[in-house]
Amino acid sequence: ITQALTLDPDSAEAHATLGLSLTRVGKNAEAEPSLRRAVALNPNYASAQQWLGVCLLLLAHMDEALGHLKLATELDPLSPTIWLNYGLGLSNAGRQIEGIIAFDRALTLQPSFQLALAGKSSALVELGRFPEAVALVRSRPSGAGRAEEDNQLFVFARAGLKAEAEALLAQTSAPAIRGLLALGRTDEALSRLSRRNSAAARSGYLWDPIYDSVRNDPRWVKYMAETGQTEAHARAQAWRAAHPPEKPTAK
């Protein structure tokens, strides 16, 4: 990327790729200028708009993040990944119904898109629509992969299907933090915090209500500091307090 920028300092693609790469290793504050430069050079570059939106979610600038993510869907309405990230942004903002619409758009384009299925089932859980969430994760074949099993574990635990959640837990050697917290296994969950966790996971740390029970735990506070997320975490919680999520509407 450095060589590409040496050859063409005004390459939107190079600036965007640099920003994406920095985001993926948790250097979000460093990524932001590169991504802003990319969209300034080419405002119609849908992927750059998407990646800037994701970066701003990780920096807890929710309103601006949603603006860029929405614009990305308008620039490239046939990208399931862009619809996925817009759905995740809406869900993180507590706008679960709109999030489900975005996830459904992603699934229309790619019916087997596991991340969109997981996003939709989590949104259903937050709305209290547990039967729908459980039916959705049950529709997926067993052994479909660790990510799907992690999502099933989370949904089963939140839906009160503890025996099934525990059975899934017994089958995995590396359970996801969300599922462990949903089962009330706080110590085990916090022991799994890692700097290697993905950008998607780190975004959840800022916004997902499942983490509310540990936000003041010294181990959590230490992890936020070690990974440079303390300020973003504080901004995210202030934004959430000012923007209450949609109330559950159990069906």
Q: What was the pLDDT predicted at 143? A: 55
Q: Give the max Cα distance, the chain.
A: 59
Q: 151 versus 172: which is more confidently predicted?
A: 151
Read off φ and ψ for residue 219, nearest 5 degrees: -65, -35
Residues of the chain by 3-state class (helix, strand, coil), percent to 5: 70, 0, 30
Q: Could you tell me the two tokens for 50? A: 């998407």
Tell me the per-residue pLDDT of 67-125, one tens digit each, with 9 for 90 and over: 999 999 999 999 999 999 999 999 999 999 999 999 999 999 999 999 999 999 999 99
* Angstrom distances, CA of residue 182 to CA of 90, 120, 162, 193: 21, 17, 10, 15
Model confidence at 145: pLDDT above 90: no
- Is residue 21 within 8 A of residue 13, CB to CB? The reply is no
How far is it, in rounded angstroms, from Cα 90 to Cα 169?
29
Q: What was the pLDDT predicted at 251? A: 56
Model confidence at 158: pLDDT above 90: yes
Q: Could you tell me the two tokens for 174? A: 């590396």
> What's the chain's average pLDDT?
93
Sequence-separated (6 or more) residues with CB below 8 Å from residue 12? 37, 38, 39, 41, 42, 45, 48
Tell me the per-residue pLDDT of 160-216, one tens digit each, with 9 for 90 and over: 999 999 999 998 878 889 999 999 999 999 998 876 667 667 888 999 999 999 999
Helix (H, G, I), strand (E, B) or coil at 165: helix
